[in-house]
Amino acid sequence: KELELYANIRPVKIFDALKHLSPLKAERIAGVDFVVVRELTGGIYFGEHILEDRSARDINDYSYEEVERIVRKAFDIARGRRKHVTSIDKQNVLATSKLWRRVADEVAKDYPDVTLEHQLVDSAAMLMITNPAKFDVVVTENLFGDILSDESSVLSGTLGVMPSASHSAAGPSLYEPIHGSAPDIAGQGIANPISMILSVAMMLRDSFSELEAAEAIEVAVEKTLAQGILSRDLGGQATTTQMTESIINNL
């Protein structure tokens, strides 16, 4: 909030060498490659919270401008991908979602080359399991994004290969593995470095427009996995250092 990092970006891609780790059948995850765009500084997390002895209340609050900037971010990302945005809400119940859907429709007029579809959050959660390959860019509010991005992150079978980025409008960006830190295994040499390395690739692409460098890192990671060099969470025996050195060698 302090850094005004309003846009959380989580790409979801299944590596061929890791398909066996997914909890879904191989045919369900074939072709999965989408991005979750989550609004990160508004909504129920930053609304008023009232807790009394026998009742409680949480305020879910969004302005037109907050919705517009995150939806526009999703459309900008979609233009560099398959040009399809899925906006997720609960407009049959929530006033904030009614606003969200209206704003999404208005923003879409500025992107005639991008297709917009709407999904209610419950049906979207179902589709993310039954047909995840249908998604290209998913955009949604803070609470729904929290839940759906965690749901989508398990499609690959491990959090150890999932990068993320959080962007401000005109200030810094923050890149980090979606799993955060793991102090319980610090110093043991068993952590999977891939999500950190792929977060650097995201940084090179999104903040510095170093597209060739970003792609080179991603290809090196894929090649390393294809060679069967796997850390313990992937079912292998490679240490953090060994896996990192293999990726560097392939790079």
Catalytically active residues are 45, 90, 122, 146, 150
Q: What's at 238, amino acid-wise?
A: A
CA nearest neighbour of 142 among 36, 44, 34: 44
Contact by Cβ (8 Å): 65, 36: no
CA atoms within 13 A on the CB side of 114: 30
Assign 3-class secondary structure to the chain: CCCCCCEEEEEEECCHHHHHHCCCCHHHHCCCEEEEEEECCCHHHHCCEEECCCCEEECCCCCHHHHHHHHHHHHHHHHCCCCEEEEEECCCCCHHHHHHHHHHHHHHCCCCCCEEEEEEHHHHHHHHHHCHHHCCEEEECHHHHHHHHHHHHHHHCCHHHCEEEEECCCCCEEEEECCCCCHHHCCCCCCCCHHHHHHHHHHHHHHHCCHHHHHHHHHHHHHHHHCCCCEHHHCCCECHHHHHHHHHHHC
Tokens of 55: 């009742």
